[in-house]
Amino acid sequence: MSGNSGNDHLRIGIVCHPTHGGSGAVATELGIALGKRGHEIHILSHAAPFRLAGFHPNVIYHEVGVSHYPLFKYPPYELSLANKISEIAESASLDLVHVHYAVPHSICAYLARQMTHRKPMKIITTLHGTDITLVGADPSFFDITRFAMEESDGITAVSRYLKEETQKKFSLRRSIRVIHNFVDTARFTRPACQRGDLARKEEAILSHVSNFRPVKRVRDVVEVFHRVSKERPARLLLIGDGPDLPAAVERAQTLGISDKISVLGLQDDVTGVLGNSDIFLLPSEYESFGLAALEALSSGVPVIGTDSGGIPEVIQNGETGYLLPVGDLDGMATAALRVLDDDDLRIRLCENGRRVAAERFSESAIVSEYEAFYREILAG
């Protein structure tokens, strides 16, 4: 492999948001997988990413501190991050820095590269979704996000949908490589807890994992579950936290189904919940990809979701779950009941899901795609 590290292995900086969310999960798991392959990985963030627990060979975590000087109403994290990337680029002799989620990371990497004299460090930006569709598209970020993408040496997007959306929204002159997200299929088949820890024996388990932002339409999760629970004993597991959780809980109270809903909060390890679920619900307005849905497939759980954004690139309607128009609550409930009532159908969907996760979204295949992309960019 090319690069300046003197052997086949690269020195890579990875920048991500550390909080619960798909982009931080993908960035961290990519770093861990690359470390296992012998690359030297430097992860930079303002807190340890939630999936980084434990020891991982060749992975070094660098915490970025922020200055709380009273003059600053808003502590300038972006400057501290750029400074840290530049510092690590020099001291570790980085070949490239791979930033996840364009805002603000790609502009910080650009600034760090301007400050680094040692050698030209390559910048790769991976677009995850809301960095383009919501945050980057906001007028206050638009020009700087486009500039940072133009200045990146390589850009990847987690779905074809996101690639097309980005090129359309930003009239981007750059090419974008689609590299889908991946799942560790060995880990997402081994539930870390027993079904009996989560629900009563007779209850079907429906689950939803997200950051509970408006785009997730969590109220639809509750409405669909309400329709299902009228027909058969069932329990809804809500995992994660965010602004729309209180409204979802309130809606459940109004519908009189609070006792059938377990609000489990933030969980670092969702294998137990997914591995014991019968249905995973993802009624989002759109998803650029839907990492939680892929983790559900790998866990052998059919997904009932919306045919929106990049979700159809992950879930095949009628094969690994059912996709319905956004807001079609009756359609989603009917599909869920059909899956719960028909054992043969459920088993077929589960098996297909596991197979698709392993064949199209395996960690080893997708990490190799990233490695090949790094090589291309470094070869310049």
Residues that bind ligand GMT (CB under 6 A): 17, 21-23, 26, 101, 128-130, 158, 181, 211, 215, 287-291
Q: Nearest approach, Cβ of 119 to ligand GMT (angstroms)? A: 30
Of 231 and 369, which has the nearer Cβ to ligand GMT? 369
Compare residues 24 and 300 and give the one whose CB is closer to ligand GMT.
24
Contacts of 69 (CB under 8 A, 6+ apart): 75
Tell me the closest approach of the beta carbon of residue 19 to ligand GMT, in angstroms.
8
CB closer to ligand GMT, 124 vs 228: 124
Q: Using CA atoms, how far apart are residues 24 and 151, in angstroms rounded to an integer?
A: 22
Could you tell me how far CA 187 lies from the centroid of its own chain?
Answer: 16
Nearer to ligand GMT, 290 or 302 (CB): 290
Q: Which residues of 329-345 are buried (b: 16+ CB within 10 A; e: fewer)?
A: bebbbbbbbebbeeeee
By beta-carbon proximity to ligand GMT, the closer residue of 106 and 288 is: 288
Query: Nearest distance from residue 363's CB to ligand GMT, in Å?
Result: 14
CB of 195 to ligand GMT, least distance (A): 26
Could you tell me if 321 and 357 are in contact, meaning their C-beta atoms sit under 8 angstroms apart? no
Which amino acid is residue 44, in one-letter code?
L
Give the span between the Cα atoms of 44 and 158, in whole angstroms.
21
Closer residue to ligand GMT, CB minimum distance, 83 or 312: 312
Nearer to ligand GMT, 41 or 215 (CB): 215
Min CB(298)–ligand GMT separation in Å: 14
Omega before residue 233 within 30° of 0, cis: no
Q: Encoding tokens for residue 179?
A: 């590299």
What is the number of alpha carbons within 13 Å of residue 326 lying toward its C-beta?
A: 12
CB of 52 to ligand GMT, least distance (A): 15
Structure-token pair, residue 96: 């490239």
> Least distance (Å) from ligand GMT to the CB of residue 306?
11
The span from the CA of 313 to the CA of 264, in Å, is 29
Three-state DSSP class for residue 239? strand
Q: Which of 316, 322, 17, 30 is nearest to 179 (CA)?
A: 30
